[in-house]
Amino acid sequence: MQLSIKKQTQILYGKHAIVIGGGTGIGLAIAQMLADEGALVTITGRNQDTLNAVTSDRIIGIAMDVRNETHVCRQIKEAVNINGPIQICIPNAGIAEGKALYKTTTEFWRNMMATNLDGAFYTIRESLNSMRKTNWGRVITISSIAGLKGQKGAACYTASKHGLVGLTRALSEDFIDTGITFNTVCPGYVDTPLVRQNIDSISKRSGLSKKNALELMISANRNKRLISTKEVAATVLWLCQYNSSSINGQAIEISGGQV
């Protein structure tokens, strides 16, 4: 009896959501929140063991490297075979590292773009095959405040995240008359493994202590604290709902204030 009441109130009951980079950090919080609302969730990442550690009756893990087009196409087909047509696509996989442009090698640039931008392009294109058939979908990319303003010392990351905002906005125009919406969320510093790695990187580059490097990131958020992964996930869940269908082509800041 309790189960059937829960089913009726689950706002994403039976929908297939794919969360790219869903085994850790922000992606994992999103995957868990969507699954709690009844979605069948596929999470991806490069490491199958990382994914296996967080799977459940509603979350399956399929390993893939978003930089590899053939791999993405094959694994998304596999996800559709298992969980049905994709209706919610969250391209979240990303890497972040600051580097002065004059020290940036082509290899570093290509790897950042391949992960943060090419990966989203492949994933969205393949997921749209499903959404166009059902004429309903939600694509929510995970950009950054660096997608809205220049991030000092991180030109490559900034360019990749601006690219993501542009891709999302353009697609919202292309699909304006359909049931598919495209939005992007732009978090400030969120408490995840990626930010913890950044503490080391900032401290190495600037000579700051690790404590001061963390303080620097915290003070960049307008509310002077790290954002929690659940705060980002809650915004994504809201955008996935039926009643959010008029929110389209938006870049939503989650940084405790205006950037």
Find out whether 180 and 135 touch, Cβ atoms under 8 Å: yes
What is the distance between the alpha carbons of residues 218 and 170, in angstroms, rounded to a whole number? 32
- Smaller CB separation from ligand NAP, 99 or 136: 99
Q: Per CB under 6 A, does 144 bind ligand NAP?
A: yes
For the beta carbon of residue 240, count every other beta carbon within 10 angstroms.
Answer: 25
Q: How far is the CB of 246 from ligand NAP (least distance, A)?
A: 25
Q: How far apart are CA 100 and CA 157, in angstroms?
A: 11
Whole-number minimum distance, CB 87 to ligand NAP, in Å? 21
By CB under 6 A, tell whether 93 contacts ligand NAP: yes
> Restricting to residues 215-254, which ones interact with ligand NAP according to CB under 6 A?
none
DSSP state at residue 116: I
163 binds ligand NAP (CB under 6 A): no
- 78 lies in the binding site for ligand NAP (CB under 6 A): no
Q: Does 92 bind ligand NAP (CB under 6 A)?
A: yes
Residue 50 binds ligand NAP, judged by CB under 6 A: yes
The burial of 190, by beta-carbon neighbours within 10 Å (0-12 exposed, 13-18 middle, 19 or more buried), is given as buried
Near ligand NAP by CB under 6 A: residue from 19, 21, 136, 183: 21
Q: Kindly tell me which of 11 and 109 has the beta carbon lying closer to ligand NAP.
A: 109
β-pair partners for 217 = none
Query: How far apart are the C-alpha atoms of 28 and 22, rounded to whole Å?
Result: 5
Nearer to ligand NAP, 142 or 251 (CB): 142
Residues touching ligand NAP, count (CB under 6 A)? 28
CB 86 within 8 A of CB 127: yes
Q: Mutual orientation of helices 119-134 and 155-174 as an angle, nearest 10°?
A: 20
CB 131 within 8 A of CB 86: yes
Q: Taking Cα atoms as reference points, which of 56, 50, 45 lies closest to residue 22? A: 45
Token pair in block for residue 187: 């978090």
Closer of 21 and 136 to ligand NAP (Cβ): 21
Whether the Cβ atoms of residue 15 and residue 87 lie closer than 8 Å to each other:
yes
Q: What x/- string results for residues 181 through 220 when contact with ligand NAP is judged by CB under 6 A?
A: ------x-xx-xxxx-------------------------
Tell me whether residue 24 or residue 42 sits nearer to ligand NAP (CB atom).
Answer: 24
Nearer to ligand NAP, 25 or 163 (CB): 25
- Site for ligand NAP, rule CB under 6 A: 21, 23-27, 45-47, 50, 65-67, 92-96, 115, 142, 144, 187, 189-190, 192-195
